[in-house]
Structure 1
Amino acid sequence: MSQELRLIRRITLKLIPFLILLYLIAYVDRSAVGFAKLHMGADIGIGDAAYGLGAGLFFIGYFLMEIPSNLMLERFGARRWFARIMLTWGAITIGMAFVQGPHSFYVMRFLLGVAEAGFFPGVLYYITQWFPVRHRGKILGLFILSQPIAMMITGPVSGGLLGMEGVLGLHGWQWLFIVIGMPALLLTWPVLRYLPDGPQQVNWMDQREKDWLVGELEKDLQAYGQTRHGNPLHALKDKRVLLLALFYLPVTLSIYGLGLWLPTLIKQFGGSDLTTGFVSSVPYIFGILGLLIIPRSSDRLNDRYGHLAVLYVLGAIGLFASAWSTIPVLQLAALCLVAFSLFSCTAIFWTLPGRFFAGASAAAGIALINSVGNLGGYLGPFAIGALKEYTGNLASGLYFLSGVMVFGLCLTWVVYHLLERKYALNPNEYAASARSARHS
C-alpha cells in the first residue's frame, strides 16, 4: 500500500466513524416523526395534510439558517460549532414529546430545522479540508452510510418505543422523542473534547504529512479551477452554485418524501407497529449496498454524471413500480431499488461542489446548495400528504416522485453540458474565470 493510501486510511479511521455516528443520530432525530405520526395524529389531532406540512417545516428552518450556520462554522471551528448544533437539536427533539396540537407541532419542527441547520453541509465542508478530490466519492459514500443505517435503526427502535404506551403516564410516541433526543445531548462533550478543527491541530500526522495534504488540496485548486472568492458571500451569486442547488432538489425531494411516508405505506401491508418498524428497515439495507458499491465505481472510473443518470432511471422505475403494484412483496422490492438509487445519488452528487470551490467559498456554496436542495424536504412530504388527502391513496404521491426523478435525469444532462463539458472544451477560459472570482 502506498504512503498516500495509508495516510488517507488513517484520516478516514480517525474521523469518519465518529462523523457517521453524529449524523446517524441527527438523521434518527429528524426522521422518527414518521413513526410518531402513526399514533400522535389521533392523540393530538393532526391529519395527513397537517402532518405533511409540519414534517416539511423542518426544512424551512433548515433553509433559512443553513448559510449563516456554515459561515459560523468557518469562524468558530468544527469542534465548537458541531457541539452547539448537537446540544440544541437534542433538546428540541425531546421537546417534541410535549406538543399539544398542529400549531405547536409546526413550531417545534421549524425550530428543529433551525437547530440542525449547518451540520450536514458543515461536515461536507469539513471533509474537503481533509481529503483530495480523487478520494471524496468513497469517503462521502462512507459518511452518507449514516442515512440508511439511521433509517434501519429508526424502524425497529421506534416500533419498540411506541409499545411503551402508558408508561409513567406518557404515550409511546412521547417516549420515542425523549429517548432519541438523549444521545445528541450526551455526545456534545465528546465532540467538544475530541473532534479536531483541522489537520494542523492533530498529533497523529507528522509535519511532512500535513504539508503533503496541503499541497494536494492546492493542486485540486489549480486542476479544477476551484474558486476562492475574496468575499465568501459572493459564492451565493455564482451560477454554478445555483445550478447545483437546483440539481440537488430532486434527490432530497424524493428521499424525504419517501422516507417520512414510508412507515405509513408499510403499515398498509398489515401488521403491528414493531413489524412495520422492521419491514421499513429493509429498503435501507439496499441503500447501504448502493453506498458501498456505486461511489467506489464512480471514483474508479472518474465518472459522476453517467452514474447519476443511471441511478435516476432506476429510481424512477422503482417509484413507478411501487405505486403501480398492489402486491406488498413487489412494492417492497421496488422500494429497495429506490433506496439503492437515492442514497447512491446523494454520495455522488456531493463530490461535485468540491470540484469548483474551496475555503470559505466552499462553506457558503455548499450551505446554499444544501439549503435550496433541502426545500425538497419540505415539498416532498407536503406534496405527498396533499395528494394522499385529495386522492385517498399514497400511490399518487409515489407517481409524483417518479416524475421528480425523471426531472433529475434531465438536469443531469443540463449540468454536465453547462459545467463539465464546457470546462473540458475551454479549460483556459474556465480557469481565468475562477481566478477572477477569487479577487471579487
Structure 2
Amino acid sequence: MTDTSVGKPVAPPLISTADDALEASTMRLVRRRFLPVLVLGFLVAYLDRVNVGFAALTANSDLGLSPTDFALGAGVFFWGYFLFELPSNLVLEKVGARIWVSRILITIGLVSMAMVAIRGPVSFEIVRFLLGAAEAGLFPGVIYFMSLWFPKRYKAQDMALFMMAIPLSGFIGAPVSSWLLALDGALGLRGWQWMYLIESVPAIVIGLMCYRLLSDTPANAPWLSREQQAWLQNRLAQEKVQVQSGVKISKWQLLKDVNLLCYGAIFFGVTAGSYGLSLWLPLILKGLGLTTFETGLMGAVPFAFGCVATIVWGWSSDIRKERVWHTAIASFVSALGLGLCLLTVSPALTVAFLSVSALGLYGVKGPFFALATERLPPSLAAAGIAVITSLAGLAGFVGPYVVGWLKTVSNSYSAGLGFLALLCVVSGLLTLIQASLQGTKQRD
C-alpha cells in the first residue's frame, strides 16, 4: 500500500496557514490606520498638558508665580480631569469613539490657546482646570477603543506603541518648546505665549483627522473586507465570552471593587513619578545652572530612553505573556532612578539617573494596562479604565504639588524626588501583593 500522505500537504496546516494570513492582513490594516493618528493625537494632547513645565522657565517670573503657585496651577488640571473622566467615557460608549475622541482633541486645542491670555495665578489655575476637563476621557477612551479592535495577543505591544506618545511628547517637546521660548518679543508676545499658541494647533488638526479615519467597530469599517471583518469580530467575541464568564457587576459598583481600586493605587504611584518628571524636569535642570537652550536639549534625553522602554518592555510582556512582573519591575526601576538623583548635583549624572527612572516610568504603561484590561469584561472596560485613570490622575496633582511644596519649604528638589521614589516602590509592592492574593483566591 502506498503512503499517499508522504510529500503531500494535509488540510489542517492549509487552514492554519490561511487563518494566519487572514489575521496578519487584517491586523496590518487596523494598525496602519489607527495607531499613527492615535499616537499623534495623544502626543499633542500630552504636550499641551505638560508644556507648562517649559513655559515656567520664563512665565513664572512674568506672572509672579511661586513654586507652590506653579505646582497648584499645574496640578489643578487633574481635578478637572478627575471630575469629568468617568462621565466623558460613559458618553463615549453612547456616541462612539470617532465623534468623542475628535471632540476631545479639538477642545484641547482651543482651551490650550487660551493659555496665551493668562495674567496671574488665578487665571492660570482656571484655564488649567478647563484644560483638564477638556481632555477628560481621552486616554481611557482610546484604551477602550483599542479593546474593541485589538485582540489580546496584540494588547501590550500596541498599547505600548500608543503610550509611546507620552515620552515622545517630551523628547520632541523639550527642544521645540525651548526654541519657541526664544521667540520672546515677536509681535508683542512673550516666548511662552508663542509656545502655547503654536503647540495648540496640532490638536485641532489631528482631531479632524480622527473624525475622518476612526471607525467605532469592525462592523462599520468599509475599509476591511467582509472576510476580515468576520475574522476580527469572531476573535474579539471569543475573548469577550472568556472574560465575561461569571461576571455580574454594574458600572457604578466598579467604584467599590477592591481589585479595581488596587489597580488605581498601583497606577497612582507611577503616575506621580511620571508627572513629577514631566512637569518639574525643566526647572530641576535649569536650577543646576543650564541655559534655557541646554535645558531643552538635556531634557529630551530621559524621554528618549522612555520611548525605547515603552516599546521594548511592552514587546517583552507580549512575547512572554506575562504582565505582573513586568509591571512590578518597571515600578522598582522608576524608584531606583529617582532615588539615585538624591546622591548628586551634577547635571550629567542627574540626567543619567532620570533616564533610568524614565525606563521604568514609561515602560510600565503597556504591561500595566494589558494586565488591567484583561481582568475587566469588555462591557465594563471603558468605565473601569476611567476609574483607574481618574484615581491615578489625582497623582498628577498630588505628585507635582508635593514636589513644589517641599521645594518651597526646603529650597531643594531632593525631598520631592524621594517622595516620588517611595510612591513607585509602593506601586511595585502592590502589584506583587495583589497578584499573590488573586492567585490564592483562584486556587481556593
How does the TM-score come out when normalised to structure 2? Answer: 0.92
- Give the 5 Å matches for 1:97-136: 97-136=116-155
Amino acid at match of 2:114: G
Equivalent position SS for 2:322: coil
Q: Which stretch of the first structure deviates more once superposed, 318-327 or 29-38?
A: 318-327
Letter of the structure 1 residue corresponding to residue 119 of structure 2: Q
Asked if 2 retains the 8 angstrom alpha-carbon contact of 1:220 and 1:355, the reply is no
Deviates more, 1:183-192 or 1:406-415: 183-192
Give 1:60-71 correspondences, 5 Å limit.
60-71=79-90
Tell me: CA distance 1:350–1:33, structure 2 relative to 1, closer, same or farther (3 Å): same
Distance 2:252 2:246 in 1: 12
- Measured after TM superposition, the shift of residue 226 of structure 1 is 6.0
Q: Give the distance between the partners of 2:223 and 2:422, measured in 1 at CA.
A: 49
Checking the alignment, whether the CA contact within 8 Å between 1:226 and 1:357 is kept in structure 2 is no
Determine helix, strand or coil for the equivalent of 2:364: helix
Query: What is the Cα deviation at residue 92 of structure 1?
Result: 0.9
Match for 1:263 among 278, 282, 287?
282
Moved more, 131-140 or 321-330: 321-330
The alpha-carbon deviation at position 218 of structure 1 amounts to 2.6
1:363, 1:402 → 2: CA distance?
30
Structure 1 stretches of 4+ with a deviation exceeding 6 A read none
* 2-structure distance, mates of 1:168, 1:421: 66
SS in 1 for 2:167: helix
Distance 1:226 1:243, change over 3 A: farther
Per-residue CA distance 1:236-293 (angstroms, 9 max, x = gap): 3333222211121111111001210000111123232122111100011111111121
Alpha-carbon contact 2:106-2:208 (below 8 Å) kept = no
- Higher mean alpha-carbon deviation, 194-203 vs 208-217, is at 208-217
Query: Are positions 1:380 and 2:399 aligned together?
Result: yes
Q: What's the RMSD between the two structures over aligned residues?
A: 1.6
Residue 12 of structure 2 corresponds to none
- The alpha-carbon distance between structure 1 residues 183 and 258, as it changes in their structure 2 partners (threshold 3 A), is same
* Partner residue, 1:175: 194
Structure 1 position 286 matched with structure 2 position 344: no
Q: TM-score normalized by structure 1?
A: 0.93
SS in 2 for 1:165: coil
**Alignment-mate amino acid for residue 187 of structure 1:** I
Higher Cα Rg, which structure: 2
Question: Which stretch of the first structure deviates more once superposed, 266-275 or 381-390?
Answer: 266-275
Counterpart in the other structure of 2:184: 165
Identity %: 36
Q: Are residue 242 (structure 1) and residue 271 (structure 2) matched?
A: no
Structure 1: runs of 5 or more not aligned: 427-440
Structure 1 distance, partners of 2:210, 2:311, is 26
CA shift digits 1:290-336 (9 cap, x unpaired):
11211111111111111222212211111111122122222111111
1:298 counterpart residue number: 317
Superposed CA offset, 1:362-407 (max 9, x none): 1111111111011100001100000111110011111111111111
**AA in 2 matched with 1:255:** S
| 1:19-418 superposed matches below 5 A | 19-225=38-244, 231-418=250-437
8 Å CA contact retained: 1:220, 1:226: no
CA contact (8 A) 2:279 2:400 kept: yes
Q: C-alpha distance in 2, partners of 1:238/1:336?
A: 35
- Which amino acid counterpart does residue 308 of structure 2 have in structure 1? L
Shift of residue 228, structure 1, vs aligned partner: 6.3
The alpha-carbon distance between structure 1 residues 222 and 202, as it changes in their structure 2 partners (threshold 3 A), is closer
